[in-house]
Amino acid sequence: MPSELETAKDPEKLDRIVIEPLTRVEGHGKVTLLQDENLQIKQARLHIAEFRGFEKFIQGRPYWELPVLVQRLCGICPVSHHLAAAKATDMIVGAMQLTPTAEKIRRLMHYGQTLQSHALHFFHLCSPDLLFGYDDDVRHRNIVGVIEDSPEIARQGVMLRKYGQEVIRVTSGKRVHGTGAIPGGINKSLSREEIDYLKTDIDQVIDWAQQAVVLIRRIFFEHYDYHINFASIDSSMMSMVREDGAYEIYHGGLRARDRNGRDIFNHVDYRNYSDYIKEGVKNWSYMKFPFITSLGQEDGWYRVGSLARVNNCDFFSTERAEAERVEFRAISDGLPVQSTLAYHWARLIELLHCAEAIRELLDDSDLGGSELVNKGEMQLHGTGVIEAPRGTLFHHYEIDENSLVTRASLIVSTTNNNQAMNESIRRVATQYLDGQQLTEALLNQVEVAIRAYDPCLSCATHAMGKMPLQIDLVNKDNALIDRLEKNASGKIKRRL
Amino acid sequence: MSATVTFLLDGKAIPFQDGDTVMDAALRAGEYIPHLCHNPEFTPHGSCRVCIVEVNGRHYSACTLPAAENMNVDNSSEAIMAKRRSLLQMLFVEGNHICPACEKSGACQLQAVAYYTRMLSPHFPHFFPRRSIDATHPDIIFYHNRCILCGLCERASRDVDGKNVFTISGRGMNSRVIFNSDSGKLGDSELSISDRAASICPVGAILPKSKGYQVPIGQRLYDTRPISLVGDSNIRRNDKT
Ligand code: SF4
Ligand code: NI
């Protein structure tokens, strides 16, 4: 059941607080809080301006443009859209299986982007909260503060990200918006020089990744109760897993588990996802609310992303990540870890796994193979699903006999987490905001909860860490009583 | 052997024969004059004006200007390049040339000439015309969005393929390529994938289906060398260095 803070009983009697836009999340979002005269929070909602024009925009385009076109959907996770669309077009051109070279190059690209995405999120966007605490001076609580206080951590973050970007560049031709994946395969394999180039730093990258996991684990245990309880909610979780239950982000079946870790479904062929997942709507949000069909709209919401993946898989195929997974799962006695802040920990375990998996792949001679594309009998529709850094990403397309797209439907990772993020901010509201005069530090708690999910709030805009923040306290007549502003350089001003 | 006659192109002597245009002689000598609607295989068209040069203070299209002894042709002064850039900018805004998503990117003459002339932005406001795609042909797709009305498909279909599949119709902003078939659809025309007209387009307006993005970034025609060295994408040439 959604928290009762989703909808207040008499909203017109309450003061309204708007946090807009959220800082250090990708894209645009806004939080509204309704507070009564005793300062009790009565309603908390996260509104996300989802970019939906896109599905229209690609209608009438030929299917082979999809992997390149749809990555434009998002400046932050283009590779995820590139690969999900490519998988859908594999189906369209009848490539039931990719050549080993094609599959491995795509995997390499995917590990590279996951590594860079997680490094960016942790080091640039979240480490300030985690290293300094949510109530650290806002002028210091940012990446510049991290560079000043912990230059080595900041440097490793930059280098990890850079390595991931190099993997993307080598496999797709460009750091952003390359063309590597095409219907039925890829357009280039790797040369000896390219493989050697990527090998040069991979051991160092694995070391840094390992250190990052050690760091997050230490932070987690140092403030254990805070981390366990902060914004934590009990939820079902969904992710992709390999046939043998191993952690998998490129190709596998879907597994959903309830809050007790029991299967809701398992090894579901993702091409049938619409039998298992439906999208609900609420009148106060443009973004949809997906739910697991068998549980219904009220109870069927779930979480995706690193937390879900590390909880749901039976093991990691790489040694170090597996050892870290075992430690991670140990904190909850075999039940799924439900701590929202554990997303960060899980994310860094994944980062470590990606680094290890890249090293394994770089020793695989298939990377230099010459069979790049498979094709078979054309089909008029295709579905592609991957585990994007932010969670399960669904692409589905239908085309006409002339090869033009007639219908596109997508469920992006962040949409899967819509209800969960809302539940988490409601939990924060109860935990920290009730009865309090709101301050920047308290409101940052709301953002810390949202940031844990690493949402990509809109796939069209991108203003990282530079967003001005405005919090309005409005009374029941919609008159502005108080306003707190943060400008792009982090200066706080109280207006009125 | 008779004595060679020459003219000067940016101060360099270019030999020519009777009947040569400035463009013919320059290309034969391995000198590049930017062009879009011209292709040495076909009769000159003189429509895109990108090959604009200056002779004695007057402007001409090099592809239609007869070569004459001792004429002094300016092909690369900043003033000439600026004129070309303006012409290109108008072409860019008049159609929908979205290079980052276009499969012809990296092998497109419009893009390559824009790079060559150091055009950095479209400068003018985009028209964003609404133009369609004709995908009715089983092997070939036609994007009206990207057509620059160079007329090469028309000439190739008529002069090489003997089919007259393409004609430019209408005037000004309303000009467009139309297809010779009862339905007006490309799929009902006589065009075949092996026709010269199917591979002549200098931009991404006429493309084979299902082949997009197969050439990786870094290996496309103009990825590593400028069009002045590589030449035209679609010219089956053996006479140029
Ligand atoms: S379709 Fe291509 S070749 Fe034909 S007129 Fe347009 S730009 Fe020129
Ligand atoms: Ni995104």
Closest ligand by atom to B165 CA: 1
- The rounded Å distance from CA B39 to ligand 1 centre is 12
> Is A5 inside a domain boundary?
no
pLDDT score recorded for residue B2: 57
- Please, which pLDDT band fits residue B11 given cuts at 50, 70 and 90? very high
Average pLDDT over residues B222-235: 78
Provide ipTM, 2 decimals: 0.87
Closest ligand by atom to B196 CA: 1
- Judge if A80 and A174 occupy the same domain: yes
pTM of the model: 0.88
Q: How far is A282 from chain B (nearest CA, A)?
A: 34
pLDDT digits (tens, 9 = 90+) for A39-76: 777 777 887 765 556 777 788 999 999 999 988 777 67
pLDDT score recorded for residue A51: 53
Contact B216 A72 (CB under 8 A): no
> Is B25 inside a domain boundary?
yes
pLDDT score recorded for residue B112: 94
Average pLDDT over residues A283-288: 79
> Which chain B residues have a beta carbon less than 8 Å from that of A178?
217
Among A315, A489, A393, smallest CA distance to A82 is for: A393
- Judge if B132 and B189 occupy the same domain: yes
Among A62, A49, A33, smallest CA distance to A408 is for: A62
DSSP-assigned states of every residue in chain B: -PPPEEEEETTEEEEE-TT-BHHHHHHHTT-----SS--TTS-----S-TTEEEETTEEEETTTSBP-TT-EEE-S-HHHHHHHHHHHHHHHHHTT--GGG-TTTTS-HHHHHHHHTT--S--SPP------EE--SSSEEEEGGG-----HHHHHHHHTSS---EEEES-GGG-EEEE-STTS-GGGSS--TTSGGGS--SSTTEEETT-TT-SPTTSSTTTSS-HHHH--SS---SS--
- The rounded Å distance from CA A76 to ligand 2 centre is 5
Per the DSSP assignment, residues forming a β-bridge with A477 are: none
Contact A187 B136 (CB under 8 A): no
Give the residue numbers in A contacting B (CB under 8 Å), as ranges.
60-62, 64-65, 67-69, 72, 93, 172-174, 177-180, 182-183, 187-188, 373, 402-404
Residue A488 has pLDDT above 70, yes or no: no
pLDDT score recorded for residue A35: 73
Contact B217 A174 (CB under 8 A): yes
- Please, which pLDDT band fits residue A19 given cuts at 50, 70 and 90? low
Counting the structural domains of chain B, the total is 2
> Is A32 inside a domain boundary?
no
- Judge if A377 and A492 occupy the same domain: no
Which of B36, B201, B207, B234 has most ligand 1 atoms within 8 Å of CB, for mutation? B201
> Is A445 inside a domain boundary?
no
Judge if the beta carbon of residue B36 lies within 6 A of ligand 1.
no
> Which chain B residues have a beta carbon less than 8 Å from that of A174?
217
- Please, which pLDDT band fits residue B1 given cuts at 50, 70 and 90? very low
- The rounded Å distance from CA A78 to ligand 2 centre is 7
DSSP-assigned states of every residue in B185-201: -GGGSS--TTSGGGS--
Q: Three-class SS of residue A112?
A: helix
- Please, which pLDDT band fits residue A265 given cuts at 50, 70 and 90? very high
- Judge if A389 and A479 occupy the same domain: no
> Is A109 inside a domain boundary?
yes
Mean pLDDT (chain A) is 85
Mean pLDDT (chain B) is 91
- Judge if B110 and B221 occupy the same domain: yes
Contact A187 B214 (CB under 8 A): yes
User: What percentage of chain A exceeds 90 in pLDDT?
Assistant: 57
- Judge if A206 and A288 occupy the same domain: yes
pLDDT score recorded for residue A63: 97
> Is A144 inside a domain boundary?
yes
Residue B233 has pLDDT above 60, yes or no: no
- Judge if A481 and A404 occupy the same domain: no
> Is B82 inside a domain boundary?
no
Greater confidence, A479 or A401?
A401
Judge if the beta carbon of residue B140 lies within 6 A of ligand 1.
no
- Residue B105's alpha-carbon distances to A164, A326, B108, B121, B237, in angstroms, are 25, 48, 6, 16, 22
pLDDT digits (tens, 9 = 90+) for A417-436: 999 999 998 998 888 877 77
> Which chain A residues have a beta carbon less than 8 Å from that of B212?
62, 64-65, 68, 182
The CATH number that applies at residue B156 is: 3.30.70.20
Which of B88, B140, B146, B150 has most ligand 1 atoms within 8 Å of CB, for mutation? B150
Residue A294 has pLDDT above 70, yes or no: yes
Residue A146 has pLDDT above 50, yes or no: yes
- Judge if A475 and A355 occupy the same domain: no
> Which chain B residues have a beta carbon less than 8 Å from that of A172?
217
For β-strands A302-303 and A236-241, DSSP reports them as: parallel
> Is A29 inside a domain boundary?
no
The CATH number that applies at residue B40 is: 3.10.20.740
Residue A484 has pLDDT above 50, yes or no: yes
Residue A473 has pLDDT above 80, yes or no: no
**Ligand 1 atom closest to Cα of residue B142:** 1
> Is A457 inside a domain boundary?
no
> Is B83 inside a domain boundary?
no
Contact A402 B217 (CB under 8 A): no
Name the residue facing A187 among B101, B209, B215 (closest C-beta): B215
The CATH number that applies at residue A319 is: 1.10.645.10
Q: How far is B208 from chain A (nearest CA, A)?
A: 11
pLDDT digits (tens, 9 = 90+) for B127-178: 888 889 999 999 999 999 999 999 999 999 999 999 999 999 998 878 999 9
Closest ligand by atom to A460 CA: 2
Q: How far is A64 from chain B (nearest CA, A)?
A: 6
Residue A464 has pLDDT above 50, yes or no: no
Pick the residue of A74, A402, A405 with the most B CBs within 10 A to test the interface with B by mutation: A402
- The rounded Å distance from CA B152 to ligand 1 centre is 6
Contact B135 A61 (CB under 8 A): no
- Please, which pLDDT band fits residue A461 given cuts at 50, 70 and 90? very low
- Judge if A279 and A360 occupy the same domain: yes
Average pLDDT over residues A143-168: 82
Name the residue range of residue B114's domain.
Answer: 104-225
Name the residue range of residue A482's domain.
Answer: 469-496
Contact A65 B219 (CB under 8 A): no
Residue A32 has pLDDT above 80, yes or no: no
- Judge if B18 and B109 occupy the same domain: no
How crowded is residue A479: how many other Cβ atoms within 10 Å of its Cβ? 8
Alpha helices in A93-233 (DSSP H): 100-119, 127-132, 143-149, 151-172, 192-222, 224-229
Judge if the beta carbon of residue B165 lies within 6 A of ligand 1.
no
pLDDT digits (tens, 9 = 90+) for A81-106: 999 999 999 999 999 999 999 999 99
- Judge if A207 and A283 occupy the same domain: yes
- Judge if A141 and A272 occupy the same domain: yes
Across the beta sheet with B5-9, the strand order is B12-16, B5-9, B72-74, B52-55, B58-61
Backbone angles phi, psi at B35, to 5 degrees: -160, 155
Q: How far is B219 from chain A (nearest CA, A)?
A: 9
- Judge if A411 and A476 occupy the same domain: no
> Is B236 inside a domain boundary?
no
With beta carbons less than 8 A apart as the criterion, state whether A318 and A356 touch.
Answer: yes
Contact A60 B213 (CB under 8 A): no
> Is B203 inside a domain boundary?
yes
Average pLDDT over residues A356-366: 98
How far apart CA A314 and CA A322 sit, in angstroms, is 10
With beta carbons less than 8 A apart as the criterion, state whether A179 and A186 touch.
Answer: no
> Is B84 inside a domain boundary?
no
Domain final residue pick, A419, A445, A460? A419
- Judge if B137 and B219 occupy the same domain: yes
pLDDT digits (tens, 9 = 90+) for B37-51: 999 889 998 899 999
- Judge if A413 and A484 occupy the same domain: no
Residue listed under structure tokens 């990606």: A354
> Which chain B residues have a beta carbon less than 8 Å from that of A188?
216, 219
> A117-138 b/e with 16+ CB inside 10 Å = b?
bbbbbbbbbbbbbbbbebebeb
Domain final residue pick, A386, A419, A452? A419
- Please, which pLDDT band fits residue A350 given cuts at 50, 70 and 90? very high
pLDDT score recorded for residue B101: 85
- The rounded Å distance from CA B37 to ligand 1 centre is 9
Counting the structural domains of chain A, the total is 2
Q: How far is B133 from chain A (nearest CA, A)?
A: 8
> Is A18 inside a domain boundary?
no
> Is B97 inside a domain boundary?
no
Domain final residue pick, A419, A435, A458? A419
Distance of CA B41 to the CA centre of its chain: 12
pLDDT digits (tens, 9 = 90+) for B79-127: 999 999 999 999 999 888 988 889 999 999 999 999 999 998 888 888 8
> A422-451 b/e with 16+ CB inside 10 Å = b?
bbbbbbbbbebbeeeebebebbbbbbbbbb
> Is B88 inside a domain boundary?
no
- Judge if A298 and A403 occupy the same domain: yes
Judge if the beta carbon of residue B201 lies within 6 A of ligand 1.
yes
Closest ligand by atom to A393 CA: 2
- Judge if B60 and B147 occupy the same domain: no
